[in-house]
Every structure is written in structure tokens, then in C-alpha cells.
Chain A
Amino acid sequence: MTPSNPEFETECIRRILAGEKHLFHELIRPCERPIYFLLLSLLRNEAEAEDAAQETAIKVYLNLHLFRGDSQFRTWVLSIARNEGLGRLRKAVTRREDSLDAGTDEQTGDYTPAILTSWREIPSEALERKELGGLLRSAIETLPEIYRNVVLLRDIEEMDVRQTAIALDITEGAVKVRLHRARAMLQRDLAPRLKAFAPKRKGLFGWGA
């Protein structure tokens, strides 16, 4: 993730609106990743997410004069991306009933995590193995949408609670509740399967392990 830089953004926007159009490329570049992955989370189709991402960038450009600076630029951009995604979902005749506002935060029920003591930490170097990334991606992709979107912005793009709430148009409380549930679901789903990626404990299996 590229951290946002409000001073750079403000200056950039001022100059673009004054005619230096080419600067828009630099302004939008740090937002490309979150735009695409938020749209992929909503639309679940790579080609459509890419097209929607391009449309989003164009809409951001055309509406640049409307940015007021009361949220971060990236958050404002992601609201536009979200609207673009939701607009496409509404148009899609075949969309599943649950694709827009599926699930509520009212769901209760105690959650039991995967109980394990066999591993504590998978080091990031393990991501050199493609199957680990694949496992993480598919676990996130199978989360219900309301949880997936929050994980995407909070844990993958590392936005704070407030900005995530603004971008998704939900309360900060809902962000926290959904993030908690999502992480719990991921832990329960993944913990047993990630065991294979944990470093072997020395001494347990001897030299031949």
C-alpha cells in the first residue's frame, strides 16, 4: 500500500484543475490497487472489475472539482469505485439476491475458533510458495461480501476504521464487528490448512524429518 499524502494530493488537484491534466496519472496511481480489488470484491469478475476500475478513474477525473478534502482523497475515490460497482450489480439481471446487502450485523451466535497448538506463525517468506497465496485468496473470496469488503480495505489495503467506514458507507462500529467476524471466519477456515506452511520444529522429528 502506498500511504496517502494529502499535501501532494491537494497541490496535484489544484494544478490539474488549472490545466496540467497529465498530473492526473500520478494522482490516481496510489489508488489503483484498492480501486481494483474493491471492485473485484463486489463484481467477482476480473475483466469486469478492470473495466469498472477504468470507468472509476475517468469519473474521478471528471468530478475532481467536487473533492472537498473532508475525507482522504483515496477514500473519496473508493466511494466512487463502490458506486460504480453497485451500479453495475444493479444492472446485472442475473445477480444473486444476496449480492448487494447480504447478511446483517444482527447475526449472533458464538463463534469457536480453530483450536490449534501445532503452529504459531507462518513467516511471510512462505508466500514464495504460490499455493499459500492461493489458499489465502480463496478463503477471502468465499467470505460473504459484507465481510470481504471490510477485510479488503482494512487488512489488505490497510485503511483505518474511519476511512473504511466512509468508503463503504457503513458505521465505524459495523466495520469493527464485520472485521472481527471476518478474521474469525478466516482463522477457523485457514488455521488447520496452514499447518503445512509452518516451519518444522527442530528436534521433534529428528534429522530425517
Chain B
Amino acid sequence: MRIDCKHVWQHISSYIDEEIDAALRAEIDHHLETCEICSAVLDSTRNLVVLVADDRVFELPAGFSQRLHARLDKELELVEPS
């Protein structure tokens, strides 16, 4: 079976997460060897997944943690966990 570009695009996310079976993975790998477009789509998608996981992209607001723990301190004084 030969798979086309659209078929590859449908499975990109599962491919990145390694959640597809070996036969389909082999088909996709074979396609990627000769299709520069699909391999660029795969690389750019995988790269985005790496970039958004970087802690520098989403940072907690300054002082968030201090304010949270200060509030918890007050609460912890008041009540026992039931």
C-alpha cells in the first residue's frame, strides 16, 4: 500500500507521540524518505511541540507563588483538614 500526503498529515500527531502501529509507521517513514513537503510538515509540527513545552513560553506571573503560599498559610491556621 502506498500512502499519500493527506494520509500522512492525518497521522502526524500520533506519529510524533509514537502511538501508531509499526506497519503504519513504516509506511509513513517510507513516504517521508521521498516527500520533502511531508517531512518539513512533520519537522515543523514536532518542533512546535518542543517549543511550547519550554517553560519560558508560559511563565507564572511574578509573585504568584508567594501570594498563593501566603494565602494558604492563613487558611492552614484556621482549619484542620477534615
Residue ranges of A at the interface with B (Cβ–Cβ < 8 Å): 1, 16-17, 19, 21-22, 24-25, 28-29, 32-33, 36-37, 46, 50, 53-54, 57-58, 61-62, 64-65, 110-117, 119-122, 124, 127, 132-133, 136-137, 140, 151, 155-156, 158, 161, 176, 179-180, 183-184, 186-187, 190-191, 194
The answer to the question of B68 belonging to the interface, with a C-beta cut-off of 8 Å to chain A, is: yes
**Which one of B10, B40, B61 lies within 8 Å of A116 (CB-CB)?**
B40
Alpha-carbon distance between A22 and B74 when the two chains are bound, in angstroms? 11
B33 on the A face (CB < 8 A): no
A58–B54 touching, CB < 8 Å: no
Residues of the A chain whose Cβ atoms lie less than 8 Å from the Cβ of B57: 127, 133, 136-137, 156
Within 8 A of A (CB), among B14-64: 14, 16-17, 19, 36-37, 40-41, 43-45, 47-58, 60-61, 64
Which residue of the partner chain A has the closest CB to B16? A183
Please list the residues of chain B having a beta carbon within 8 angstroms of any beta carbon in chain A: 6, 9-10, 12-14, 16-17, 19, 36-37, 40-41, 43-45, 47-58, 60-61, 64-65, 67-69, 71-72, 75-76, 79-82
The answer on a CB contact under 8 Å between A187 and B64 is no
A residues less than 8 Å from B71 (CB atoms):
54, 57-58
Those 5 A-B pairs whose CB atoms lie nearest each other, nearest first: A180-B13, A120-B43, A187-B45, A113-B41, A127-B56
Given contacts A136-B48, A187-B41, A187-B48, 10 further A-B contacts (CB under 8 A): A21-B81, A36-B60, A54-B68, A61-B81, A65-B81, A117-B40, A124-B54, A161-B19, A176-B14, A179-B17
Contact assessment for B40 and A179 in the assembled complex, using a CB-CB cutoff below 8 Å: no
Q: What is the CB-to-nearest-CB distance from A90 to chain B, in angstroms, rounded to a whole number?
A: 24
Contact of A50 among B40, B56, B61 (CB under 8 A): B61
Which residue in A32, A180, A183 is a CB contact (below 8 Å) of B65?
A32
A25 lies within 8 A of B72 (CB) = yes
Known A-B contacts A119-B44, A187-B48; A32 and B14 likewise in contact (beta carbons under 8 Å): no
B13 to A179, Cβ gap below 8 A? Answer: yes
Closest Cβ neighbor of B72 among chain A residues: A57
The 8 Å CB contact of A62, one of B56, B68, B82, is: B82
Task: For A136, give the chain B residue with the smallest CB separation.
Answer: B57
* Nearest CB in chain A to that of B40: its residue: A117
Q: Is A180 a contact partner of B48 (Cβ separation < 8 A)?
A: no
- Select which of B44, B67, B76 is within 8 A of A21 by beta carbon: B76
Residues of A within 8 Å of B44, CB to CB, are 114, 116, 119-120, 187, 191, 194
A53 with B50: CB separation less than 8 A: no
In the assembled complex, the Cα of A48 lies from the Cα of B60 at a distance in Å of 14
Q: How far is the CA of A117 from the CA of B39 in the complex (A)?
A: 9
